Amino acid sequence: MAPELLMRVRESFNLTGLGILLIGLETLPLLQAFELHTVWVVKLVFADGHEEPATASVEEISRPGEAGETTAVARALLLTPEGATTVPAGTQVYLLERAEL
């Protein structure tokens, strides 16, 4: 399987004990198509060209809207905690394969 773009990272957060939550600039159709909580092997490609493999699960987050707006719901990726550190904005995340659990 050729790597396919899942996300361009807008921001990331360390969720203690869970891993690193990656929030994308936009929700790409490929990420939207996956079932929640499925686990995938991904490749992080940083702005300087450095690449790093990782394991991530598909999650869904919601954020309250401004006054009078509805709650925004979006897909996100949760990197497993093994050695995970925050990921800078602009990093691209590519799908490699479904993880064997």
**Regarding the domain delimited by 4-98, which CATH topology (the fold level of the hierarchy) does it fall under?**
Elongation Factor Tu (Ef-tu); domain 3 (2.40.30)
Q: Which of 36, 35, 37, 20 is nearest to 93 (CA)?
A: 20
- Residue-wise pLDDT for 15-40, tens only, equals 988 999 999 998 788 888 889 999 99
Residue ranges covered by each domain of the chain: 4-98
> Environment class of residue 74 by beta-carbon count within 10 Å: exposed (0-12), middle (13-18) or buried (19+)?
middle
| Total-model pTM | 0.85
